[in-house]
Amino acid sequence: MTANFPGYFISFEGIDGAGKSTHIDAFCKLMQECYPNHEVVVTREPGGTPLGEQLRGLLLDAPMNLETEALLMFAARREHLAQVIEPALAAGKIVISDRFTDASFAYQGGGRGLSIAKLNDLERWVQGREDGALLQPNLTILFDLPGEVAEARRSKVRAPDKFEKMDLNFFEKVRQEYLRRAKEDPQRFHLVDATQTPEAIWNGLQALKINF
Ligand code: TMP
């Protein structure tokens, strides 16, 4: 059961190098044009609040124990929900987040090997609501592509952070966990074949039916 808010929550997901960042700004503008009476709030994880951005700095650079890493991701998320996401959704706004909890399942779970049972517990703790519902995005746009294609794209950009330095095997496991989550909740996920050209991907995003 997904929590009921008057607003609408969209997350963008995918392995590093999948190309999601290229499209987020344009997609936000498109949403604002389609829904002029609803403010669009753009945010990201880890981050999205002053505390979350501080945690992001640590999470992307400092070496740490895997469980510490997962707990800090969810701590930043709890703050993000309390300060930004829940108030915006309660006010009827459209929230677009560059990553959310599926990234923790994919990276800390699939990639690094933290147990899915522990991640389920953290998800329920941080996103569970009093009525028993779980706050999830209404729509998750997953940019999917093979690890080696993403690796070739990543090598063309800026200095890699802690996650971007990981090897192909890690990213293949991240990808598989994203796909498992998508299979588990097909109504929430929209899969984008990210091997397509940016133009073809954008055409697909423009044609996406939003149930808002
Ligand atoms: P970004 O490069 O898309 O801004 O994401 C930052 C990195 O953080 C990216 O490599 C994925 C990683 N990440 C996790 O490992 N777990 C999480 O829960 C989130 C939100 C991001």
Q: Which ligand 1 atom lies nearest to the CA of residue 74?
A: 18
What local confidence, expressed as pLDDT, does residue 207 receive? 94
Distance 32 CA to ligand 1 centre (A): 26
Residues 6+ apart with CB under 8 A from 203: none
Distance (angstroms) between ligand 1 centre and the Cα of 43 equals 13
Q: Is 209 or 206 the better-scoring residue by pLDDT?
A: 206
Report the pLDDT value the prediction gives residue 3, as an integer from 0 to 100. 67
State pTM to two decimals.
Answer: 0.96
For ligand 1, mutation pick of 12, 25, 45 (most atoms within 8 Å of CB): 45
- What is the rounded CA–CA span in Å between residue 190 and residue 127? 21
Helix 20-34 × helix 198-206 angle, to 10°: 30
Structure tokens at 37: 């009476």
Ligand 1 atom showing the smallest separation from residue 163 Cα: 10
In this predicted structure, the answer to whether residue 32 has a pLDDT above a threshold of 70 is yes
Whether pLDDT at 1 is above 70: no
Residue among 8, 13, 78, 27 nearest 207 (CA): 27
* Structural contact between residues 61 and 162, judged by C-beta atoms closer than 8 angstroms: yes
95-132 pLDDT tens trace: 999 999 999 999 999 999 999 999 999 999 999 998 88
Q: Given strand 40-44, what is the order of strands in its sheet? A: 40-44, 94-98, 8-14, 139-144, 189-193
Hey, whose CA ends up nearest to atom 15 of ligand 1?
A: 107
Alpha-carbon gap, residue 96 to 41, rounded angstroms: 6
Residues 156-191 have pLDDT tens digits of 767 889 999 999 999 999 999 999 999 999 999 999
Average pLDDT, the chain: 95
pLDDT at 132: 87
Q: Give the pLDDT score at 144.
A: 98
Give the pLDDT confidence of 8-30 residue by residue, as tens digits.
999 999 999 998 988 999 999 99
What pLDDT score does 179 carry? 98
Yes or no: say if 11 and 91 are a contact pair by the CB < 8 Å rule: no
pLDDT mean over 68-90: 98
How confident is the model at residue 154, as a pLDDT? 84
**Residue nearest (by alpha carbon) to ligand 1 atom 1:** 16
Ligand 1: lining residues by beta carbon, under 6 Å: 16, 44-46, 60, 73, 98-99, 103-104, 107-108, 163
Kindly list the distances between the CA atom of residue 165 and the CA atoms of 15, 87, 155, 170, 191, in Å, as whole numbers in the listed order. Answer: 12, 35, 10, 10, 25
Each residue's pLDDT tens digit, 130-156: 888 999 999 999 999 999 999 888 877
Tokens of 111: 């990639």
- One DSSP character per residue, 13-36 reads EE-TTSSHHHHHHHHHHHHHHH-T
Maximum distance among all alpha carbons in the chain? 47
For the chain, give percent helix, strand, coil, nearest 5: 50, 15, 35
What is the atom index within ligand 1 of the atom nearest the CA of 104?
Answer: 18
CA 64 to chain centre: 22
Q: Atom of ligand 1 at shortest distance to CA of 111?
A: 15
pLDDT above 70 for 2 = no
What is the reported pLDDT for 131? 87
The whole-angstrom separation of Cα 171 and Cα 154 is: 12
Cα–Cα distances in angstroms (integers) from residue 185 to residues 139, 160, 192, in the given order? 10, 31, 15
